[in-house]
Amino acid sequence: MAGTESYLMQSGDSAPSFIQAPTRSLQTLVAAAKNLSAGAKTILDFEESGEPPVSSDQATKRAGVCVTCPRNETGDLSRFFTVPVAERIKAQLERAHGLNLTTALDDKLNICGACLCPLKLKVWFPLKFIVEHMSAEVKAALHPSCWILEESK
């Protein structure tokens, strides 16, 4: 681009910050893709197991932790996921609702910013399916009060 030579030369030896931003974005996208893959594997493993979800009391207790968590991020599913993934999650949420897998706190449950899981679904999953596919990076990103960390003790 015309004029960039003088800008680059004036900025010194280090590259301007706008050149580093795409790298961080790419790293963020890769991490998100890994989280989505782990989430899909978790759902598939749980569904294929035939095991029941956790009790309503346990799901409600978990939801109570999530609603106060700073990692409970608000926004439409399209803020976090591509349209096909968002549609798949909506279908899973509708299926869960049809199976009466709801808590009184569902309207306050959103997306976990640490793992990108839809919390309305996650609170119903047996712990073993969650931790089996959780990376060390995601575990480290969980809030210290997360029920996953507490139940894993």
Q: How many CA atoms lie within 13 A of 79 on its CB side?
A: 11
Domain enclosing residue 128, as ranges:
25-152
Q: What is the mean pLDDT of residues 48-63?
A: 96
Residue 150 CA to residue 153 CA, distance in Å, equals 6
Residue 70 within any structural domain of the chain: yes
Count of domains forming the chain = 1
The per-residue pLDDT for 61 is 98
Give pLDDT, residue 141: 93
82 within domain boundaries: yes
What residues are paired with 111 via a beta bridge? 73, 118
Q: Report, as an integer, the average pLDDT of 95-123.
A: 94
In-domain check, residue 7: no
Q: Tell me how many degrees the CA angle 18-23-24 measures, rounded to the nearest 5.
A: 90
User: What is d(CA 39, CA 10) in angstroms, rounded to the nearest whole number?
Assistant: 46
